[in-house]
Amino acid sequence: MLIGDNMKSIEKKIDSLRWALSYHSDRYYNDDAPEIDDYEYDMMMRELKALEEKYPQYDTPDSPTKKVGGKADNSFESVVHTVKMESLQDAFSRDEMLDFDKRVKEVVPNAEYVVEPKIDGLSVSLEYRDGVFVRGSTRGDGNVGEDVSGNLRVIHNVPLKLTQPIPFIEVRGEVYMPKKSFERVVDRQLLNDEKPFKNPRNAAAGSLRQKDSAVTAGRGLDIFIFNIQQIEGAELSSHKASLDFLKEIGFHTVPFYKKVNNMDAALTEIDRIGESRGNLEFDIDGAVVKVDNFSNRELLGSTAKYPKWAAAFKYPPEEKQTKLIDIEIAVGRTGVLTPTAVLESVHLAGTTVSRATLHNQDFIKDKGIAIGDIVTVRKAGDIIPEVLCVNQHNSDSIYAFPAICPSCGQTVIREKGEAAIRCINPQCPAQLLRNLIHFCSRDAMDIEGLGPAVIETFVENGLIRNTADIYNLDYDRIAQLEGFKQTSANNIKNSVEKSKSIDLSKLIFALGIRHIGAKAGKLLADHFRNIDAIMSASADDVLKIEGFGQVMADSLVGYFRTDAAKQLIQKLRLCGVNMKSVSVIKDERFAGMTFVLTGTLPTLKRNEASKIIESFGGKTSSSVSKKTTYVLAGEEAGSKLDKAQSLGINIIDEETFKNMIK
């Protein structure tokens, strides 16, 4: 029997596991930003369950072992689920599946099963009345979810009208992002200097929770329906019959499912699904075994968290040992140097793997990785191969990153507090496409007609080799390109010429300087008034501007110290690009004031209101704090309005605002 300090250590371990599971559950379900993989999470959950069973005096009703992971996001309207959206009990071995079978057979001796893949996505409910889609919601905590009807409507395989006018049906499905869509989204995020999604599951969750349905529509989401929650107007007695029926009335059902007579046959099907998962166009993280007969399910019932008539077999991450032949350094579109391991080919999770990510220099140093080592490789989330550890060192020295950029030869830097080593040369060839797209974007130089696809075409055809080439385009040659005519070439020419007179603040933002956004560009332009003053400013000079910190100041000064930046500014100047602030401050009535805009204003767009505020010496912020002077609120103002009320901030509407600027 354990007493004293031993019992305290057990209690401490349980508390630690609960905290870690709650934290990682929140990161996974609600932030769509997991920090550990599913297998690590599942193993922690297992350990906690075992401890709670062994030491019931420490068991509590609010333990993560008794809760579904997610919760309703209060940025969406809540939906109370009439039929609870339960999670599934997990199994990690054949023995555990046989134990599940034994428990089922004690109640239903002749139970038959249906085996289907476990899609790795976001679980949702779809409701239909008289065959017409009326509402869709996320699972949330199983009892209360989020109304995401608008975003579900734009998913191609969500039927808005069924082939039969069923009086009422609620189905459960999994929204997922196909692997090809995921690759496109990540490419786009990298082009826009955004943090990319970690995996398709989190990409799907983040896309479905967008406030703008147009964003969701552009993400290429899909859905598989796998269950009937409730139905009126039809009698169904088994799971397989229900899946066949769902397919018949227009649903995109789970892609393959098989009815089997016993657990041995179910295990064979689990193995078959596992062997095929590397060739699927979507992610699965296991296979689900369900009792087929609905009457038998009622006899078996449910626990507080999951049904007793189903189990999810989770495939363990497959690991293999191989030799690390070389390490290649690639320069990403944001300048980050990324190491990739070149491996002796090994078969892993259904595919041949010859390359794997090494993340960054810190990762290589922590693992002690060197070329020639024997390493263990795993597919993280069954998608991106990664090196886990070194099994055998064949070199005395750990691999070190190059001191210069392999693309342009400029010295690379590592900013304080960052893991990434990056090239900050604005003319680095590896970063060219991303820099050009940013330079021409609406919030930067606003060159209409030079979108990502057009810029990529011009780069491929040698029309643009650096940023300054935008102002020296060969418009006759453009007119001869496939898909272009003289009219489109002239339109681009007019947009390019127009951009030359744009305000200095836009040019500063367009340069893509690290940590210098659109608002920082405006503050710099208003303070220094011309590019030469900015280029000659010290970090101390920049820090005098309210809103600038040390990191921003150092980044700005460091950028303009590079020869490449000086050369680019000189080329743009010779092309006739404006280098002075053209903004005019009417008066200083809003000097020292900070406005936060929220909701939809009756007549003004937010950017219009922001420009007005700035023209009277004020500034805008994206978040409410004690320093906020006014919150300008329109229709459907959300959490910012609530926070302003709680802090006692002055809240004004558009009419009041217009009176203030008369």
Catalytic sites, residue numbers: 118
CB atoms within 10 A of CB 524: 26
Q: Is 223 exposed, middle or buried (0-12, 13-18, 19+ CB in 10 A)?
A: buried
How far apart CA 372 and CA 324 sit, in angstroms, is 5
Q: How many helices (H) and strands (E) does the chain have?
A: 24, 20
Token couple for 29: 């379900």
Q: Do β-strands 594-598 and 619-621 pair in parallel, antiparallel, or remain unpaired?
A: parallel
Phi, psi of 106 (to 5 degrees): -65, -25
Q: Do β-strands 168-176 and 122-129 pair in parallel, antiparallel, or remain unpaired?
A: antiparallel
State the residue for tokens 């590592």.
414
**Of 407, 370, 417, the residue nearest 390 (C-alpha):** 370
Phi, psi of 620 (to 5 degrees): -115, 155
Rg (CA), the chain: 29
Q: What's the angle, vertex CA 188, arms to CA 425 and CA 514, rounded to 5?
A: 30
How far apart CA 423 and CA 444 sit, in angstroms, is 22
How far apart CA 54 and CA 62 sit, in angstroms, is 18
CB atoms within 10 A of CB 229: 16
Alpha helix segments (H runs only) across 30-143: 38-54, 94-107
Q: Which residues pair with 337 in a beta bridge?
A: 331
* SS3 at position 48: helix
* SS3 at position 294: helix
Q: Is residue 402 within a helix (H) or strand (E), and if so which, with residue range?
A: none
Residue burial 299-311, b: 16+ Cβ < 10 Å; e: rest: ebeeeebbbbbbb
Q: Is residue 30 within a helix (H) or strand (E), and if so which, with residue range?
A: none
How far apart CA 381 and CA 20 sit, in angstroms, is 20
The gap from C-alpha 384 to its chain's centroid, in whole angstroms, comes to: 15
**Of 49, 55, 74, the residue nearest 9 (C-alpha):** 55
CB atoms within 10 A of CB 297: 20
Q: What's the angle, vertex CA 373, arms to CA 372 and CA 375, rounded to 5?
A: 135
**Of 248, 255, 315, 307, the residue nearest 285 (C-alpha):** 315
Which DSSP state fits 194?
Answer: P
Token couple for 635: 């229709």
Sign of CA dihedral 457, 462, 465, 468: negative
Cα end-to-end distance, the chain, whole Å: 80
State the residue for tokens 């560009």.
521
**Of 112, 473, 523, 521, the residue nearest 292 (C-alpha):** 112
CB atoms within 10 A of CB 587: 10
The gap from C-alpha 284 to its chain's centroid, in whole angstroms, comes to: 18
